[in-house]
Each structure stands twice: as C-alpha cells, then as structure tokens.
Structure 1
Amino acid sequence: MHSQARIPNGIHNAIDYERLAPQAMDAGRHAYVAGGCGWDATLAANRAAFGRWSIVPRLLRDVRGGHTRLMLGGQQLAHPFLLAPVAHQRLAHPDAEIATARAAEATATCLVASTLSSVPLEAIAQAGGSAAPRWFQLYLQPERAHTLALLARAEGAGYQAIVLTLDASIQLPSRSALAAGFAMPADCTPANLAGFPPAPASALPPGASRIFQGAMRHAPTWDDLAWLLAATRLPVWVKGVLSPQDARQLQGAGVAGIVVSNHGGRSLDGAPASLAQLPAVRAAVGSSYPLLLDGGIRSGQDAFKALALGADAVLIGRLQMYALAAAGALGVAHMLTLLVEELHACMAQAGCAALADITPGALLPCPPAAAA
C-alpha cells in the first residue's frame, strides 16, 4: 500500500505524517515500524521525555539574521536534522531508500544509510547525488572479512563517515507487532548482505544459555571497536550510547562522535529515554565533543529541546518512514522542510538567532502534573 507522489491533505506539521501513517501502510507493517520491543515502555518514554520541558520565550531579540547552519564532523550542514539509519524501507514504499536519498539531496540533509537497507548502498549513494553529506551505518558482521567488504564498498561509494551501531545485538520483538502477525516480507531482505552466507548455526551444549552463549556469541567487544577504528580511513561514530561511562571510554578510544540512542525503543525495553540521558552524556564528554540525539523527535520544538540539553543535531527515524509511506520522496522532503521551519519558528520566539544560542537556559522543567 502506498500513495501517489503528492502531499496528502491535512499535513500541517511534521507530526501529522505519524497520524496518517496507518492509512498509508499495511496494518502489520505499520505495527512493526511504529512498535519498539516488549511492552514498548522505552518507546513511550522517548516521547514523554520531551513533555517534561518547556521553552522560555524571549522578547526584543533581533533574529533577522537567523539561520540553522552548523559544522558537524568537519562538514557544514544547512540544518541540524539527519535522516536516521532506518532498515527495511521497502516496508514503507516500493522506492525504499532511493526515494529517501532523493529527499535528502533536495533538502541538503545528511542521510545515514543502514546496513539493512532494502537497496544496495551504492544505489543509495547514486540517488543522493552530491548536494549533502551521506554516512553509512554499520553492523559488525560475524566474519571480519564481510565487515571489511562493507567498509570498502562504503568508502568507494563516497560515504563520509561510519556510524557503528552497538546496542542491537539482541532485539526482542514488539508485542504489538507480534499481535498484528507481522513477518518480514521476502522483498525486504537486506540488499547489502546478499553475498554473505549466514553464520553457521552451532548447537548449544546442555545447560548453555540461548542468550549468553547463543545470541551474544558474535556481539561486539572493545577489541572489535579498536580493530574497526584501524580498518577504515573514515571517521567512526558510535550509535546506541546511554551510559556516561561508556561515552567517556568511547571518546578516549578515538571515536569521532556519539549518538545518544536507545535504538528507538527497540533494544532494551525499560531503558531510559534518550533525551533523559543526554545531559549526563554531554557532561561526561565535554562541551565540544560531537553528540547527536536519536529517539522520539517529532517536531522542531522537540529538536530545540534536544539541542538545548546538549545535542549538536538530531536523527529522524520513524517520521522518515511515515512520510515515505505517505508520499515517497516528496513526503520525506516535505516532512524535513516542515521540521526545519518549525525549528526556525521556535528559535525566533525563544530569541535564538543561531544554534549556538540554544542553551539549557532556554528551557524550564515542567511541573510533574504537566508532564503527562
């Protein structure tokens, strides 16, 4: 199920794409995309965290020269919104990541392409042109030779950074997706892994754990991170950080930047909201270390709050899929345009002419009763 290439009626704000998504997607696919894992507690926490802060309006500020430009990882961006590495985009639209890449080019948005994309990383790069940066999200493969092959392909296709996801060694399904009877369609098989044979199954000895000795058998370690940093010429970011201690250790290991993220609530149900951990992670790594926020962004106001609490930029995940389902490349480009304009309006009313003006002092905590 997908819509024609036009902006659907009733889209006034970026979050409206979330409201229309059930009309644009098959029920099972929507349940999978919208869900997290387990009881979706962390998924809900990501959204609720933004409601715990209010934005303080300021008066008589001259913002006529206002803009949202920033430098991130040595690259200039027009605005602080990046397209998150969302897997299996053919679930939302037949054009999948090709459409998303075209939207990124049209809006000068940095696209982070997933290892688990529905189309090859080279096709995504070609569709995205050269108007905006593009990064490649990496899952370490059981065989290091396969990881090296992915790195070589990403470097050859012009990707400018690697985003290593480390918080998804185990992903339990969402109860809502299970209730909807969702099964991954055959046409959503990850194109980038097509040439890699699956890791051979090995029988567990009696008494062994399906988790510790099974699912975690190939989980990354600090040795694997050190190996990766030496294996590529590209800067390596790490996605999936919630612990300030981990953040400091990653910084010390030479990681280029960090994405504060709980995998959109898809990893450990019961983990804290990404926004809730952001200030502590920022304090751990200092004021100048590159830091992104992933999880729960639905508006320019949400982005403003993330920037005030320590993020340099934010990643857009589910809204990307909802807009893709509703109107393909045009929908994703429109959604991004709305987010940027919403951020402009918020900044103007808060007296912030540039992203550097957005500080913790721009926010006030809401009373507990107002945070629901």
Structure 2
Amino acid sequence: MEDRMQQQLQAPPDCTTVMAMIVRRLGWRLPGDSGIVPFYHLTVSQATQLQGGSTTEERLELLTAFVREALGVSTDSPTPPYLATNLQHFQATLTRLWTAVHWENKNKETLWRLVVDGIPLPGNTHLSRVPIKPCECGSYGGDTDQPYSPRMHHFWECPIAKAVREQIDRHLRLLSPATIEGGITRQQLWLVQAPTGCEQAPWDVIAMAALSSMEYGRYCLRAATREQRQQGASTHGRQQQPQTRTAEQGPRQRAITDFFNRLGGFTQEEDEAANTHPSIYTTQPTLDNAVQTTASPLDQAQARTVADFWTRLHSFAALGIPKYGWDRVGPHHPILAIVGAQLRCDSPMEITDRGSERAEQGP
C-alpha cells in the first residue's frame, strides 16, 4: 500500500526527458526505401537525399527522356529492354566525366545541362509556354509543328551541328572507312559511347568538345545574323577600318585562323569555281571602293564553330597526357593521339596534309 502511494507521489518526468523518449521513436523514411532511419542515426548523405528527393526524381525523368531521344525511341512507343541498360551506363559515364576527366568545367557544362533539358532553348520542357523561335539557319521553327525537339535540332540536325559532326566523321574515316560509314550516331555523341576505331578516353573529350562547340555556334549564328541586319539598316557608305594584327600567332592558332579565313572569306570567283551557290554572299564597300565579298552569317557561324571545336581539343592536348585511361591510345589514333611522350591533336583537314599522309600509311 505504501509503495503504491509513493509511486503516485513521484513527480512526473520533465519536458526534456519526455522529448528524448519521443525522439528515440521518430525517424525519416528515405525515398525509395521502406525502412525508417532514426533521428540520431541520420547521416549528412541521407539528409541530402531527403532534401533533394523530389529533385532527384525529376532529374531521373529528364535523364530518361534524354536517353530515349538519343536512342531514337519516341515517347509514345513502349520502353525497349535496352533502355535501362543504356540509362545505367550513361549515369556512370556522367560521374566519370565530371570526376575523372581533368578539364575546365566550362567544357563539360553543355553536356551536363543538355541531359536535363537545361539549355535555354524556346520550346524546352522548362520553357513550355515560350513558343519555338525559328533558328537562324532557316530550317527549323515557325508556326507549324516541328518534327523534333529544339534540342534535337540545335545539337544534331542544324547545319552548325553538322559542321562539327563532319569534322569528326572525316577524321574517323581515315582509319576505319567501313566501320564509320554513314557517320557517327546520335547515341555515340550524346551518350558519349566511343565509335569503332576510337578509344573511350579520347572520345570523352571529343564528345564534350563537340557539344560545347555546337552551343557556342548557336550564339555565333545569332550574332552574325543580328550584325548583318544592323549593317543592312545602317549607311552603306561607311568605310571599314583596316585590320591590324596585335600579336604574333603561334602555329596552332595560325592553323585555326587560316581555316576560319578560308571558310569565311572565299571570293565569288572561287565560289563559282567550286560549283557552290554564290548567292549566299553579300557585298561590302572597302577603303578603295572595291567590292569585297563576305560569307553569309551561316557560313561565318559554321567556320567559327569548327574553329572553336579544334581550339578546345588543342587546349586539352596542351595539358599533357592524362594519367588514367590513355594506355591504349597510340600515334595513329584519330583526332587525339599520343606520339612519343606528347599528346598530339589533329587540325582541320582543310588546312593540313596529315589526313592524306595517314591514308597512305594506313592504320
């Protein structure tokens, strides 16, 4: 009897004790996991996973849509069995590119944003209310329905993108003309899967440089078109100032500059001799009142895009031979090759005879 009275007279536990008892029984349920993680055992990694749970799911959906588009699988068709394999492989590829490839992040950003539809193209998923604007190339956009997405056009079908793809195809055909017949595929470029005749480590760099240059070329085309419109609206009698060279160019930069000048500065006689279309050129006055022909905005943008592509590759080659993944890259590897103790980069085939030399030597 006395024991019962003593138990009743005992003071109730304080608030801190009660809260500690409750907290021990509370926890978090992680996304995709049926178990509960108690508060006291929650790690920073698990907390980050909880905070970005919805973002992770949305990113996975966008990543899946990107892989489907790269493989040419429409959203209306059933999911093929090989989609999951390519998706898993591409997720591992993104991790490898971001951590193992030691290159400036600006060369990786385009691919990283492209996979989540993060490039600010009118008509993208995150800009669904913005109507698709016509591309300055003249082959995409307008009021009619488009056969493919803005991402597909600007990074595959646009003449700007095709100019970069052509450079890659022409170098790969030198060593394996049969296996690369028809050119590289969208799956190989977008999902960074090395084609036959090219090792994976160099292809990582080539693919990222190609996509980054395509994005750069998109801005170049807009700038060249805008400049042409401004020149058309201004007084045609304005004289141009003579160009002066401020610094001596190295051999690599001279090669790039020469390539740009040759693509962007054909005369009308040379153009007609090459059986092209002279109507794409416009005339501008010079200091001596002579008529000088200049390339169209599309041709100028293509030349700048190709020059930017090779400049990025040359900048990577200047960093030296990477430590990992380049053991099987020999002196005859296309585009990026290891010659002796140096990492060498090819140049555009229009301004070098190395392509013909390689064709004569064979693989």
TM class, shorter-length: under 0.3
Task: Say which structure is richer in helix.
Answer: 2
| TM-score between both structures, scaled by the size of structure 2 | 0.21
More strand by share: 1
- Higher relative CO (Cα under 8 Å, sequence separation at least 6) belongs to 1
* TM-score normalised by the chain length of structure 1: 0.21
Q: Which of 1 and 2 has greater Rg?
A: 2
